[in-house]
Amino acid sequence: MGGAMSDGSESRSVLRRYFPEISSFRSGQETAIDRSVAGKNTLCLMPTGGGKSLVYQTAGIRRGGTTLVLSPLVALMGEQAQRLNARAGITASCLSDLSGPPLYNSLRDFDFTHGPNFILTSPERLSSSGYLEYALRRNKSAISLVVVDEAHCVSQWGHTFRPAYRAIPRCLDAIFGRDEWPPVLCLTATLNPRDRAEIVSEFRIAPEDVITTPSMLRENLVLRCEELTDEPAKKVRLAEILAQHRGEKVLVYVHRKEGEYGTAQMSAHFGSLGIECAYYDADLKDTEKDAALAGFHSGAVKVMFATNAFGMGIDISDIRVVVHYLLPESIEQYYQEVGRAGRDGRPACGFLLFSETNKKVRRDLIRRSVVKRSEIERMFETKLTLREGQTLRTIDPFVDIVEDKGERSTWYALQLAGVVQVLAKGPTNIQCFAPASRGFAGDLERYLEAGSRAGLMNTVARKLALPVPRIIDDLWRFFHEGGAKLVSAPSQGNYFTTPAVPPVAVFDEIERDLAVKLNSRLDGFERLVEMIGAGEDPTDRIRAHLGILPGS
């Protein structure tokens, strides 16, 4: 692996060779790269659009071998993989672009050793896919860097929490061993002190390896906060803003999908006034999202009404105005979203429009978003408790877990607490495999015959008196070494065990923890309310909250 060079000359050599369109590094980038190349677990905070991808790509190239990139941004991962593959000497595979047998074949055939190579995938896939874990473990000596992009999603304290992020350290332990991780590079735009403490602890990052770039809030952004009497007054003010900035790209965060002030209705209303509008929210089909984004990219659409589904990973550099039509949850959320304006460095502005009623609405939304104890107990009883005669139970995290009922958070929380113990990850039906060579035919055919016509994994295990984890490990080995082929996509079965008696003490602890987290989020919102109530230009207060020195 490469070693750090104090003068950064090796990083600049990589820049000239692989990224000739970029003349120089920005402040902080080389420091973060050198720390990672030197084998240090590193946290790098850099503004939205500030060049985080260049940091991990340069560090990965210098480290050699394979860089594993974990990100929630499916569309952006695909774009980054395409751009990397276009550069001579680099191979990149975005697993989120693949499904079924092609996904497994691509991972099996991936050349981990002869880098620089990049594998891009989501934390959800890392924590759920048995074959991904197996392939990474088989090639662990060639994995030279792990990148955790949008690392603020790790923290349970914020609105952007993605539960699978909390499982990343445990996944790394399973792949590499507790004390044998490759260096980990965490990247994000902003963190409050509690988020930072959690990430530093989870990923074993020393204080001196937290890198904060000096220009976290871009100087080209002008921010305004305006309190109005009610929703009709806000709508009138929004019309004035759109008239003042007619012909420019404007992103309006309404944070609601339905109703008079939701994405679709607002887009229809202002579209009827002759403004080129579109809307973007989680309920749109992927093709509809792509069409809306394409129009906004090209300029055919001037005003985009969106929920926070329009967020991380959407990179449109020439947005001139961001309007918040409903209060965000925290200063961090506001910073992330208003930072979508002016990424091209030209003057841009952000307007935060709110009324007294909006404060109550946001507080209610925060309270409703927290998982209830009753929901945790219900999921344990219906989906996680072993039935009479069972030693293992199976769940498909992508099919059997309902996101909006708090089940995904519960699934990971109970694993972290040791209540749910996942013993194997693999297919529930072995008929997705067929022999590919005579060398393994006997072993695989023995399993296939034991499965009889239905091919159920539990039937195979019972007939052959073998543990399910042993069978699954054999099947992945047969496939990885070329003795088996896939004739259909394996299910994402997670085989687990739980206590026979509900773990009341654990439920009590989770309930207390949830109450603390709820209060923390409410406190974060109150800090935002205090900030916007102290004057119309919140720039200096945002800087103070984020620990940014004025004029830096």
Class of the CATH domain delimited by 221-366: alpha beta
Predicted confidence at residue 1, as pLDDT, reads: 44
Q: Which of 364, 359, 368, 356 is nearest to 328 (CA)?
A: 359
456 secondary structure, DSSP code: B
First to last CA, the chain: 35
b/e 523-536 (16+ beta carbons within 10 angstroms → b) = ebbebbbebbeeee
b/e 19-33 (16+ beta carbons within 10 angstroms → b) = beeeeebeebbbbbb
Residue 171, C-beta contacts closer than 8 angstroms, at least 6 positions apart: 126, 127, 133
Q: What is the pTM of this model?
A: 0.87
- Integer angstrom CA distances of residue 551 from 40, 98, 215, 219: 30, 46, 8, 8
Q: What DSSP string describes 382-437?
A: IIISPPTT-S-EEE-TTTT--GGGTHHHHHHHHHHTTSSEEEEEE-SBGGGEEE-S
Cβ–Cβ under 8 Å, residues 299 and 249: yes
- 157: pLDDT strictly greater than 80: no
Distance CA 249, CA 333 (A): 21
Using DSSP bridges, classify how beta strands 143-148 and 66-70 pair: parallel, antiparallel or unpaired. Answer: parallel
> Tens digits of per-residue pLDDT, 88-124?
899 999 998 888 899 999 999 999 998 899 999 999 9
CATH of 9-212, one of 3.40.50.2300, 3.40.50.300, 3.30.559.10, 2.40.50.140: 3.40.50.300
Cβ–Cβ under 8 Å, residues 202 and 154: yes
Residue holding tokens 């569309």?
Answer: 75
Reported confidence tier of residue 390, pLDDT bands at 50, 70, 90: confident
Three-state SS string over 478-515 comes to HHHCCCEEECCCCCCEEEEECCCCCCHHHHHHHHHHHH
| Element of type H or E holding 306 | strand 303-306
Q: Where, residue-wise, is CATH 3.40.50.300 in the chain?
A: 9-212, 221-366
Distance CA 235, CA 266 (A): 9
In percent, how much of the chain has pLDDT > 90? 60
The number of C-alpha atoms within 13 Å of 280 and in the hemisphere containing its C-beta is: 24
Record the tokens describing residue 250, joined without a space. 């404007």
- 225: pLDDT strictly greater than 50: yes
Record the tokens describing residue 278, joined without a space. 């579109």
Cβ–Cβ under 8 Å, residues 108 and 146: no
- Integer angstrom CA distances of residue 47 from 24, 69, 195: 17, 19, 16
> Tens digits of per-residue pLDDT, 499-545?
988 899 999 998 898 888 889 889 989 989 988 876 667 777 776 66
Distance CA 539, CA 537 (A): 6
> Tens digits of per-residue pLDDT, 411-456?
998 999 999 999 999 999 999 999 987 665 568 889 999 988 888 9
Predicted confidence at residue 347, as pLDDT, reads: 94
- How many angstroms from the chain centroid is the CA of residue 38? 26
Predicted confidence at residue 251, as pLDDT, reads: 96
b/e 151-164 (16+ beta carbons within 10 angstroms → b) = bbbbbbbbbbbbbb
Neighbours of 368 (CB within 10 A): 8
Reported confidence tier of residue 468, pLDDT bands at 50, 70, 90: very high
- 173: pLDDT strictly greater than 80: yes
The number of C-alpha atoms within 13 Å of 179 and in the hemisphere containing its C-beta is: 0
Residue holding tokens 């996944």?
Answer: 171
> Tens digits of per-residue pLDDT, 42-87?
999 887 666 889 999 999 999 999 999 999 877 778 888 999 999 9
Record the tokens describing residue 242, joined without a space. 């759109």
Record the tokens describing residue 57, joined without a space. 């790509």
Residue holding tokens 């890392």?
Answer: 126
